[in-house]
Structures are given as structure tokens and as C-alpha cells.
Amino acid sequence: MKQSTKASLGKVIRVLRWLVPLAIIAGALVFRLVMTSRVAAPPDMPPIPVRTMKPVYGDLVKTLELNGHIESETMVTVLPLVSGVLQELLVDVGQPVRKGQIVARIDAERYELQLKQAQAAYLSAKSSYERLEQLYRANAATQQSYEQAKGQYEAYASQYELARIQLDYANVKSPVDGVVLVRHSTAGSIAAPERPLITVGDLGDLIVRARVPERYYEAFLAGKESMRIDLTRTGDVVSSGVIRSVSPFVSAETKNFEVVVSIPSAPESMRPGMFVSLKFELARWIGVYSLPYEALSGGLLWWVSDGMALNEAFTPADATDVSFVVPPVWSDRDVIIEGQYFARSGAPVTVLSAEAP
């Protein structure tokens, strides 16, 4: 009896050894199945903070600002054509001069002597030539002697003319009308063709040479006759300019081309060498709605309607470097200009503050 009881107990224990692990595994599977079958309710997302603004109404102007310095279109450095001691420099800085006016005198003593020598040789050769010419016509002189006398006469005539011109060059003259801008030398110094004496410029014909990037070439060609140009000094508009010429050459090194701007009504205070800023008006859209480029995000414009963020694909057509034109339908929309990168279409947003147009 005891043995049969022990045998039955052993069978129960062996069965339990298999059932207990199986029960544990089955319970784990059931628990996992129950957990995975549950659908977790997403937490409520807080509204995304954004800043908005309404499109700005008015004229949108596309401009290009460059710097340059004023020059005189007729600005000439006066150089002597003969060498010698500079006896007199007859003009000073700021003094007006006329074309052909004597502005300096160089010691002309040696040029006067050269002229006298050349004149004496010239007159002697002329007398010999005229005498031989009469003899040759009367068949009393050979053609060879006649040609020789003629050649000497022409050579001495050229030397005489050169001596006369050099003496005239001792009086240095201004080649243009204008005002003395710079005085490079003083009386008593040595004058030479490579040493400038003065610089003369016409203050009534002032220009600015602007170096413009290549990408604006078509705009300048199209607006050459009508482009508005404002010149400013120390932040204030002092005059307006007119395009005089657009260079047909674009530098391969700098990728720039030259635009010469004339200043037809330059004020008295404007002088060559002054630094100025130029503002070129490249385009103007009159009476349009515009937004800053901060409002454009990945080709989308976002706005707020009833506390929700909405978007629409948009590609600017007319634009400056900072703003672009939008259709009138956008005029009353609160366009998101900050925070749209985190927005989702149809998601709630909180407007922190609206920018004044």
C-alpha cells in the first residue's frame, strides 16, 4: 500500500515538473498578447508657438547698392614736353584755367640759342638752294648739285621748325578748360617729360565708375535710359545720376563690368576723389502685397486660420533680395514668419505676437 502511494506521488511530481513551466510560458504569452492588443491613446500635443504678420502693401523696389569715388571725366595731368629748370608755376590748387593758358614756364635760354643756330643754318641753306635753283633752271648747274642743295635746305628747315617748337614748349599750356585739382611741383625744381606739374579737371563733368556684378548685365542694358540712380554721402542723398555708358566687356577675373554714371546736377560740395554710395533701382512693382523671405519654408507658405496651421505651395515670381510679391488673396491672412518649421498642417498653434505690416 505504501509502495503504491509512493509510486502515485512520484507520477504527480513528474507531471508537475512539466506542467509548471508550461503554465508559466502560457501565462507570459497571454500577457504579451493582451499588452500588444491594446491601442495606446496618444497624448494631446501642445499648440506650437508661432509669430505671424500680414502682407505689406505698397511699392516693392529692387535695388543694387555699390560704392565708388567721384572722378572728373575731363581730368588731365599736365606734363612738360621739354626738360629744364622750372622758373614759374603760375597757377595754384582751386584756380580755374582755360585751354591754351600758360600754367608754367621752363628756363628757355638754351632753346633760344638752339633756335638762333637753327635759324642761321636754315637761312644759309635757303640762300644756297635758291641760288642753285636759278642756275639749274638756266642750265648752269648740275642736277646733282641742285638736289644736294635742296636736301640740305629741307633738313635745316626741319631743324629750325623743331627748335621753334621746343622753344614754344618751354611755356607749358593747359590742354583743357577746368580747375587745378593737384599741384605736383614747385618753382625751382627740375621739369622733365616724366614729371607731372599739375592736374586739371572739369568740375562741371563729374562721373563715378561702378563695378557691377555680371548677373545684372541684362538689367543695366534694359534700363540704361531710364534707371533711377541715387548718390549718397554720409547717409544722405546728395544727387541723382544718369548712366552714361555700359561697358560691353566683362572681366574674366572679377566677373564685373563697368558702368559710368554721370552727375548732371552735382552740388558745389561734390569734388573728385570723394567716396559715394550708389543705389541703382533695378525694378519697381507698384501697389503690391509682399512678404519677407522668412515666411517661405521649403517652397511652402504657412498661415493661421481658426488657431490651426495651414500651408500652400508657393514659388515667388517677382522679388527683391529680401521680399517677394504675393497675390491679393493673401492680403488678410496671418502668415507665419517664425515657427513654421515645426508646424503640421491642421495642427493647433499659438500666436505669440503679430508683426506689424
Neighbours of 75 (CB within 10 A): 19
CATH number, residue 273: 2.40.30.170
Q: For 86-143, how does the pLDDT look when each residue is reduced to its tens digit (9 = 90+)?
A: 999 999 998 999 999 999 999 999 999 999 999 999 999 999 999 988 888 888 888 8
Q: What is the CA radius of gyration of the chain?
A: 47
Sequence-distant (≥ 6) Cβ neighbours of residue 188 within 8 angstroms: 85, 86
What pLDDT score was predicted for residue 39? 43
Q: Which tops the pLDDT comparison, 76 or 31?
A: 76
Name the residue among 218, 277, 275 with its Cα closest to residue 250.
218
Q: Coil, strand or helix: which one is 219?
A: helix
Name the residue among 261, 315, 321, 290 with its Cα closest to residue 62.
321
| Residues 260 and 215 reside in one and the same domain | yes
| Residues 156 and 178 reside in one and the same domain | yes
- Check pLDDT > 60 for residue 37: no
Query: Partners of 190 in the beta sheet?
Result: 85
| Residues 184 and 225 reside in one and the same domain | no
Q: For 287-344, how does the pLDDT look when each residue is reduced to its tens digit (9 = 90+)?
A: 999 999 999 998 999 999 999 999 999 999 999 999 999 999 999 999 999 998 888 8
What pLDDT score was predicted for residue 40? 45
- Check pLDDT > 50 for residue 42: no
| Residues 219 and 321 reside in one and the same domain | no
Range of the domain at 350: 49-58+287-355
| Residues 86 and 165 reside in one and the same domain | yes
Q: Identify the domain boundary among 143, 168, 198.
A: 198
What pLDDT score was predicted for residue 352? 86
φ and ψ at residue 36, rounded to 5 degrees: -75, -20
Amino acid making up residue 324: F
Neighbours of 97 (CB within 10 A): 21
Q: How confident is the model at residue 265 (pLDDT cuts 50, 70, 90)?
A: confident
Name the residue among 270, 288, 147, 139 with its Cα closest to residue 207.
270
Q: How confident is the model at residue 246 (pLDDT cuts 50, 70, 90)?
A: very high
Amino acid making up residue 138: A
Q: How confident is the model at residue 154 (pLDDT cuts 50, 70, 90)?
A: very high
Q: Identify the domain boundary among 248, 267, 284.
A: 284
| Residues 134 and 273 reside in one and the same domain | no
Q: What's the CA gap between 233 and 269, in Å, rounded?
A: 11
What pLDDT score was predicted for residue 14? 63
- Check pLDDT > 80 for residue 207: yes
What pLDDT score was predicted for residue 38? 47
| Residues 69 and 218 reside in one and the same domain | yes
Q: For 132-141, how does the pLDDT look when each residue is reduced to its tens digit (9 = 90+)?
A: 888 888 888 8
**Count of domains observed in the chain:** 4
Neighbours of 164 (CB within 10 A): 15
- Check pLDDT > 50 for residue 269: yes
| Residues 148 and 92 reside in one and the same domain | yes
The answer to whether 280 and 229 have CB atoms below 8 angstroms apart is yes
CATH number, residue 312: 2.40.420.20
Q: How confident is the model at residue 206 (pLDDT cuts 50, 70, 90)?
A: very high
Task: Please name the residue ranges forming H helices in 202-357.
Answer: 217-222
CATH number, residue 167: 1.10.287.470
What pLDDT score was predicted for residue 234? 80
What pLDDT score was predicted for residue 41? 40
The answer to whether 243 and 282 have CB atoms below 8 angstroms apart is no
| Residues 181 and 33 reside in one and the same domain | no
| Residues 69 and 215 reside in one and the same domain | yes
Cell representation of residue 179: 580747375
| Residues 29 and 131 reside in one and the same domain | no
Residue 216 is given by DSSP the state G
Sequence-distant (≥ 6) Cβ neighbours of residue 5 within 8 angstroms: none
| Residues 249 and 268 reside in one and the same domain | yes
